[in-house]
Structure 1
């Protein structure tokens, strides 16, 4: 469990198991026969051993690493939303491993303890993966700063598996949304602008009318890499923008209270109002934008510059959704001739 070191020895009378508070620490339990089940009593004995050895104030345990990491530029320079998420997981790590000596993390078998902790959320694979990734991040910082020699959490296999291929919204998706009774106009605005600009959700909700020029929408410090997006204002996008001439102040998108959206707010409302069984997410509208540009004749390189993806990724979407559709239409026309 939390840094415990369990070993067995074969004796004439059979197998005997020894549980140590940590690798190199005192033996706190032994049992003959089957491998011992870790109980609250054993964990309590481990905590007492830790307190006896380090007085509960060790500068050489995981809590000390957490404190150092939170004070470092690796943490302090992140966005507030990222720091909130990280703190949530650092607290969980502290609750489970906080008093565990760093020496325990020099033993590769500690990887099994981390996986066991991660599996507390195995029925929520995304959450479980965040647990192991955050531990790997923390231990990676410790390695980088010379606190430990190895990162035993690096490369732990992810539980959540997704289709990495980019998805796009097809006609059937739009038809399903528009068929929803009393679907809110402010949500539809967000969906339409997303497919017309290809902006990430965070950039989309923060888009201000000041960024909308005569020929292009220019967004500074976009998304994860803090780059610059320049989106040409083509006919469909211009028509959408012109339909909102009387609203040109503040953010382009507004919620039902006529104030700016938050990412979680838009996601929450969309999850509540989306059609039942809907198999696309808002992020997929970026791929939809790519297909729109491809159909209009832009090259993969030109599209890549606009949306910030690689030309290879654009080519994959083109092959799947644009070229394939054209082949099918051509075949239908030839077979109908």
Structure 2
């Protein structure tokens, strides 16, 4: 039998002596039972697969273009190490920029990026427009050392301001709202709220905490978004909440009603339904969010005169002027212990819910 060769395809016999064929670039296999090797159907299938591969290649980003720069950034270790939420946001930015992906690098300048920024604000809103600006800044930042572009043309573009009539995102909770939520929610949800309320942890980080991250009276770990170290002392109020929580065997500190680790989407769904019920009853105002509890902690501490650096240390926030090292853990824990003492005393002064959580409290 005459040996058949087709450019771009690998034709071979498997270990059972059965002929096989696939497209090298895409890995697409040809069913040789439906299109026997050497038949008209076989060559037609090869032509079809090759055409599809060429079309996809043509649609991909080209070197020397904006799309090419974005592809380079997506392949960097920096992007791969970003939090999943940040990666999703950046890919959405890339989707927005897709129609102009073939823009040559040679024509990219500050006025062009400013124009893109303005168009994004009109089309997808000021917040996402600023995200597009930030994303392009990251792309240019990593493209400059590689010689792919000469500077970061987004740096001089002024971020869009928050509209004055827009409600405050993730606003701090009012004192009566904190009290009502803690009194009305189910025990397995109450402990989640109490943990975030008394530590300032991001909700996603709080739900992922494991038992091994508690050493003595301190929660150790890293903030998912910034990878900044956290060392948060467990105050009396939080300890009482943890002691009153339903028992479970999950590896996480927090668990749902079935004793299984919470997923972020799962808890968000439960929280949203509960919050909407409270809104319908007129017990809380609209705009109550889980992330707002972080703002509540920061606001409470700021009102006591606590310094920004101390608050940032507690919340795991990163600033360009401060590069902390892992060896600072012990000092950080002690400083945060003093910070949490201030929060505990201020909440008590304001008659916040600080009395021990009781397992007899009904949801």
Superposition TM-score tier, normalisation by shorter sequence: 0.5 to 0.7
> Which residue of structure 2 lines up, in the alignment, with residue 284 of structure 1?
292
> Which residue of structure 2 lines up, in the alignment, with residue 221 of structure 1?
222
**Structure 1, unaligned runs of 5 or more:** 1-53, 327-337
Q: Secondary structure at the match of 2:291?
A: helix
Gap change, CA 1:84 and 1:308, over 3 Å in 2: closer
Rounded Cα–Cα distance in structure 2 between residues aligned with 1:198 and 1:178: 16
Q: Is the contact made by 1:121 and 1:127 (CA closer than 8 Å) also made in structure 2?
A: no
Shift of 1:101: 0.8
Shift of 1:105: 0.2
Q: Is the contact made by 1:129 and 1:160 (CA closer than 8 Å) also made in structure 2?
A: no
> Which residue of structure 2 lines up, in the alignment, with residue 103 of structure 1?
106
Q: Which moved more, 1:225-234 or 1:200-209?
A: 225-234
Pairing partner for 2:200 from 198, 201, 208: 198
Q: Secondary structure at the match of 1:114?
A: helix
Q: Is the contact made by 1:207 and 1:219 (CA closer than 8 Å) also made in structure 2?
A: no
Shift of 1:99: 0.9
Q: For this pair of structures, how many residues does the alignment match?
A: 260
> Which residue of structure 1 lines up, in the alignment, with residue 247 of structure 2?
246
Q: Secondary structure at the match of 1:118?
A: helix
> Which residue of structure 2 lines up, in the alignment, with residue 127 of structure 1?
128
Q: TM-score, with normalisation over the residues of structure 2?
A: 0.57
Q: How does 1:56-95 map to 2 (within 5 A)?
A: 58-93=62-97, 95=98
* CA RMSD in angstroms, aligned pairs only: 4.3
Shift of 1:265: 4.0
Shift of 1:165: 11
Rounded Cα–Cα distance in structure 1 between residues aligned with 2:183 and 2:246: 27
Rounded Cα–Cα distance in structure 2 between residues aligned with 1:206 and 1:55: 39
**Structure 2, unaligned runs of 5 or more:** 1-57, 280-284, 320-334, 351-363
Q: Is the contact made by 2:223 and 2:229 (CA closer than 8 Å) also made in structure 1?
A: yes
Gap change, CA 1:235 and 1:90, over 3 Å in 2: same
Shift of 1:84: 3.0
> Which residue of structure 2 lines up, in the alignment, with residue 8 of structure 1?
none
Q: Is the contact made by 2:83 and 2:224 (CA closer than 8 Å) also made in structure 1?
A: no
